[in-house]
Amino acid sequence: MITVGVSLKMYFSHARTLEWAASVAGIARRHPAVRSGAASLFVVPTFPALVPVREVLGDAPVLLGAQDLAWADEGAYTGEVSGAELREIGVDLVEIGHAERRSLFHETDDDIAAKVRAAFRNRLRPLICVGEASRASRAETVAEVTARLDRAVSTAVADGLAGPVIVAYEPVWAIGAPAPAPDEHIVAVLGGIEQHLEGRPELRGSAVVYGGSAGPGLLTRGQGRIGGLFLGRFAHDPAAIETVLDEVAALD
């Protein structure tokens, strides 16, 4: 199965988000790649849109994700959103550790590990973002991102809470760039992460996807060696999502 997801970050108005979600739901209901199980599709809108997007998606085979969560489940944490409430409103997965959260909001490895633990505690699948700040060799990159992944799951593993995750490899130097990282680099790093996960039985069933200026055409060029995409601005037009799903169907 190839995993395809989209984060809207903070680009859309509320009305546009709902229109976009309705279009994606329609694509998911009719597309053979989703209907056959060849592709798994998820969307990650803003917090205010989660409940209405859940309603818009209805019975469409689309998972709903949140862009962040608090490390605590309740309490005097003004402005935070708990994993317990996210689960209550029907969220399936939660994005944790994006490079923008690290750079803009100064999230540390300890913060991210606590959030991963909170996600597992509330039966939310963590979507853990990892990536190197500057270009390095493939071996160096694999070592760096798998070490970051290990730190992210460390607390949950120690507490016996860990389970399947989605690992989004997003090289920081490729986020927002005109084009993604070189194809062979992507394939090599994703393969290294997958191999690392094979040695982590507590994370069995995890998926590995590529983000960082990902868009249509990458799966085709990867020739079945890329297990999924985490799309951003290139999926603001729902037609691009359908194009990516067409690529999945062609690879199946």
Write out the catalytic residue numbers. Answer: 98, 170
62: its two tokens = 């689309």
* Residue 230 C-beta-side C-alpha neighbours within 13 Å: 28
61: its two tokens = 């085979």
Angle, helix 138-158 to helix 183-198, in steps of 10 degrees: 40
DSSP the chain: -EEEEEE-TT-S-HHHHHHHHHHHHHHHHH-HHHHTTSEEEEEE--GGGHHHHHHHHTTSSEEEEES---SSSSSS-TT---HHHHHHTT--EEEE--HHHHHHH---HHHHHHHHHHHHHTT-EEEEEE--SS---HHHHHHHHHHHHHHHHHHHHHTT-----EEEE--GGGTTSSS-S-HHHHHHHHHHHHHHHHT-GGGTT-EEEE-SS--TTHHHHHTT---EEEE-GGGSSHHHHHHHHHHHHHH-
CA dist 112 and 101 (Å) reads 10
